[in-house]
Structure 1
Amino acid sequence: MPINERRSLWRRMRPYVTVFDGPLMLVIVFLLGTSLVALYSASIGIPGKIEDQLRNIAMSFLVMWFVANISPQNMMRIALPAYVVTLSLLLAVALFGTIKLGARRWLNLGFAQIQPSEFAKIAVPLMLAWYFQQRHGQLRWHAYALGALLLLVPVALIARQPDLGTALLVVAAGACVIFLAGLAWKAILALVLMGAACLPIAWSMMHDYQRERIMTLIDPTSDPLGKGFHIIQSTIAIGSGGITGKGWTQGTQAHLEFIPERTTDFIFAVFSEEFGLVGNLFLMFLYLLLIGRGLMIASNAPNLFTRLLAGAITMIFFTYAFVNMGMVSGILPVVGVPLPFISYGGTALLTLGLGSGILMSIQRHRKLVQT
């Protein structure tokens, strides 16, 4: 009898313990393992980074497990409150936010400082997925227009801080939701043309440092010791890695401190210098598996809400990787976007853990959701 009781307890607890999606979890573990290898080398001379990152990873797994236990039905219930709270926090930042390095991005709660724009990466696509689910089967042009407005309001508040990197991630996730909801290709083409026509206006509204980043992208040698320093040094590191790299902990650009922010935004340059093209192909293969698994979960999702949400989370993963590798390689302007699951940092890793947990919840509950 005691054996049967123990088995019965395990049967009751098993659905809450074995919530992780195997293929997705395997890719994330490989990425985090690669992160620790790269971070160990990049943080030589900077004590405490590995310990802090291990703590961040543990918190990320806890968040992932918690969210994976939340059913998509409950996610739909919290979509609107989460959006309203996030919007309220962004407004509070605009009015009372703490200024650091010329940007007003943080909100001081007394016991801690938070960056509400990070919440928008999940809250906005969650809200848009809920919105289009409520109007499924009766989508007209005005429904897409209102959806675009729901996206643009938080994006405008984030861009105003200014934080173009986070704004870009939110735009990508939200635009993915609107596209997957069935927006016609003609409308997409019209929006692209309108966006191109508005580029001169956008240029005039940019801050000086934002215009300088774009001009530096075109010609980084115009200010090699100033604005172009990041791009020049990171591209030197990537190129000097060659085919197989210089070897782990043997990168000269990183250890002679030529690469700025080498544990966070520019860790890809450190990895490239030490592991070369072979290491980069391995890393890109892991991201391909991550994005492919996300798209597979989205394609198997049982209703519009889960399909749109899974597609948006996958787009966030893609945008993180594409923008970071692009800016470090010198093909995109430098913005504050970390390399997903690789760069050092707690907030971004928690956001990625939250997104991964959502994907796992959708996969786990796919047979329980009403279509």
Structure 2
Amino acid sequence: MTFLPDMESGRDSFFGKLRRIEWGLVFVMAMISVVGTILLFGAAGGSWEPWAGDHIIRVCIVTCLMLVVATVDVRIWYHLAYPAYFGVFILLVAVELFGKVALGAQRWLEVGPIRLQPSEFMKIALILALARYYQDAESDRMWTIRAHVIPLVMLAAPAALITLQPDLGTAIMVAGVGATMVILAGLSWWYVIAAGTSVVAFALAAFFFFMAEFQKNRILTFLDPSRDPLGSGYHITQSKIAIGSGGIFGVGYMQGTQSQLDFLPERHTDFVFAMLLEEFGMVGGLFVLSLYLAAMAFGIYISIGCRHIFGKFLAAGVTMLLFIYVGINAGMIMGLMPVVGEPLPFLSYGGSVMLSLMFGFGLVQNAKVYRDKTLGSGFKSSKRVR
């Protein structure tokens, strides 16, 4: 088959595709990035270096990437889904064999000046692969466990490799996104309940027999931060102080003692939301959370409106990924979850998460642009949602 786009009435010209992009979602993500730039500027004491300037440049680059991904024919992403998954999986295996060790973890591959963290890209690759699988699957068998054996293996294998690095936070995200897509595909809730019970049992076994010592300390510190206030409990303790001092309206921009006096660790990455709550209070925090909720609402709207299962699952999977990011980070800085080192997308400083997630939202926009596309030649079926 050919991948040339349909050109009826110029509908699939490049500018025609741009008109069908959900610009409201682009605006919301830009607003989050602007807030992030303001916070990073303040975190550096009122300087564009070393974080805010780079943040703006990265946002501009990945936004252009998102628009490019959105306009590529959806059939191309369909055919690249499995190769992308297996390519990233091979990189995860390479991390285990040749990976760079830093800060007690083996998560990176170094090729000359390039440093890659394949686990970040597995989140999107898994969503692509599962979306293709369910596009081709027989819809009348989705309630049975047999229909989901391959997807469960596809999510369990990379999650296990990422856990070994060890990177528990990313492993949870990969498993969580994959499990959500399996449930959305129609798996019987009896299997879901049984799986949930098994996960709890496995988590207890993992804590006592498989987790590294620093991972155990994170969980024990989460339960009782006072057991090591100057060690493993330091992050949560300082974060709670920052949040408490912010109150309803905050202490003012660049006036937070926890962030400006360097008591709050990783204030430009994992704990940037704690800095926001200190300086702008609960009002500022609710404003940012409302922006994230708006982005998720756009993702759900696009998923519901897409007429083929591939795009529907792409939009749902990426939206769920954003939800997990926000939920883990917000819960972490408030002491509701253990510290697992996951940043807040587009607000925190960092390139890998921004690149992978903006690529994912390019796929969400692609589902919007090609929402009425009939996935025909080269597919088992055209699969339109009734």
TM-score norm. by structure 2 comes to 0.91
Whether the aligned pair in 1 keeps the contact of 2:11 and 2:17 (CA below 8 Å) is no
Out of 297, 310, 316, the position equivalent to 2:302 is: 297
Determine if contact 2:10/2:16 at 8 Å carries over to the other structure. no
In structure 2, what is the equivalent of residue 270 of structure 1?
A: 275
Q: Please tell me whether the aligned partners of residues 311 and 366 of structure 2 are also in contact (alpha carbons under 8 angstroms).
A: no
- Counterpart of 2:195 (choices 177, 191, 198) is 191
- Per the alignment, do residues 149 and 12 of structure 1 end up closer, same or farther by CA in structure 2, a change over 3 Å counting? closer
* In structure 1, distance between residues paired with 2:10 and 2:83: 35
1:136 offset after TM fit, Å? Answer: 2.9
Kindly provide the amino acid, as one letter, of the partner of residue 22 in structure 2. D
CA distance in 2, matches of 1:29, 1:199: 38
Distance 1:271 1:340 in 2: 14
> Where does residue 132 of structure 2 map in the other structure?
130
Q: Secondary structure at the match of 1:366?
A: coil
1:177 aligns with 2:181: yes
- Distance in 2 between residues matched to 1:136 and 1:251, nearest whole Å: 56
Show the counterpart of 1:4. Answer: none
Amino acid aligned to 1:29: A
Q: Is the 8 A contact 1:264 1:338 kept in 2?
A: yes
Distance 1:250 1:134 in 2: 55
Residue type of the partner of 1:316? L
Equivalent position of 1:39 in the other structure: 40
The offset of 1:368, in angstroms, is 2.0
CA contact (8 A) 1:19 1:69 kept: no
Note the C-alpha offset of 1:196.
2.1
The 1-side partners of 2:215 and 2:261 are apart by 28
The TM-score with structure 1 as length reference comes to 0.94
Change (3 A) 1:89 1:359: same
Cα offset, 1:361, TM superposition:
0.7
Shift of residue 156 of structure 1? Answer: 0.6
Other structure's SS at 2:362 match: helix
- Structure 1 CA distance for aligned equivalents of residues 58 and 313 of structure 2: 28
Which residue number in structure 2 is paired with residue 247 of structure 1? 252
> Any conservation in 1 of the 2:246–2:278 contact (CA below 8 Å)?
yes
Partner of 1:29: 30
Offset of residue 288 of structure 1 = 1.2
**Is the 8 Å Cα contact of residues 173 and 316 (structure 1) preserved in structure 2?**
yes
In 2: Cα distance, 1:308 partner to 1:12 partner: 25
| 1:253-311 deviations in Å (ceiling 9; x for gaps) | 00100011110000011100000011011111111111111111111111222212211
What residue in structure 2 maps to residue 325 of structure 1? 330
Structure 1 residue 198 displacement after superposition:
2.5
- Find 2:212's aligned residue among 184, 207, 210: 207
Instruction: Give 2:159's aligned residue.
Output: 155
Matching of residue 103 in structure 1 with residue 108 in structure 2 = no
Task: Give the unaligned 5+ runs of structure 1.
Answer: 1-7
Judge which range, 282-291 or 323-332, deviates more: 282-291
User: What's the counterpart of residue 68 of structure 1?
Assistant: 70
Residue aligned with 1:73, SS: helix
**What's the C-alpha RMSD, in Å, of the aligned pairs?**
1.8
Q: Compute the displacement of 1:73 (Å).
A: 1.7
CA apart distance, 1:62: 2.0
Which aligned segments of 4 or more residues in structure 1 are displaced greater than 4 angstroms?
Answer: 8-13, 16-19
Cα distance in 1 for partners of 2:347, 2:97 equals: 33
Distance 1:196 1:368, change over 3 A: same
Of residues 171, 174, 189, the one that matches 1:167 is: 171
Mapped to 2, the partners of 1:169 and 1:202 lie a distance apart of 17
Q: Distance in 2 between matches of 1:321 and 1:202?
A: 25
Is contact 2:124-2:357 (8 Å) kept?
no
Matched, 1:83 2:122: no
Matched position secondary structure for 2:101: strand
Native 8 Å contact 1:99 1:106 kept in 2: yes
Shift of 1:71: 2.6
Out of 90, 94, 97, the residue aligned to residue 96 of structure 2 is 94
Q: Give secondary structure in 2 for the equivalent of 1:113.
A: strand
Indicate conservation of the 8 Å contact 2:308/2:372, yes or no: no
**Residue 220 and residue 234 in structure 1: after superposition, are their counterparts in 2 closer, same or farther (change >3 A)?**
same
Give the Cα separation in 2 of the matches to 1:23 and 1:257.
Answer: 37
SS in 1 for 2:170: helix
Deviation at residue 23 of structure 1 after TM alignment: 1.5
Letter in structure 2 aligned against 1:187? Y
Identity %: 40
Q: Match for 1:184: what amino acid? A: S
Give the deviation of 1:12 after TM superposition: 4.7
CA contact (8 A) 1:82 1:123 kept: yes
SS in structure 1 of the partner of residue 109 of structure 2: strand
Shift of 1:15: 2.6
1:24·1:293 contact (CA, 8 Å) conserved in 2? Answer: yes
Rate the CA distance shift 1:335–1:251 in 2: closer, same or farther, 3 A. same
Secondary structure of 1:349's match? helix
CA contact (8 A) 1:19 1:65 kept: no
Q: In the alignment, residue 290 of structure 1 is paired with which amino acid?
A: A
Opposite residue 52 of structure 2, the aligned amino acid is I
What SS does the aligned partner of 1:198 have?
A: helix
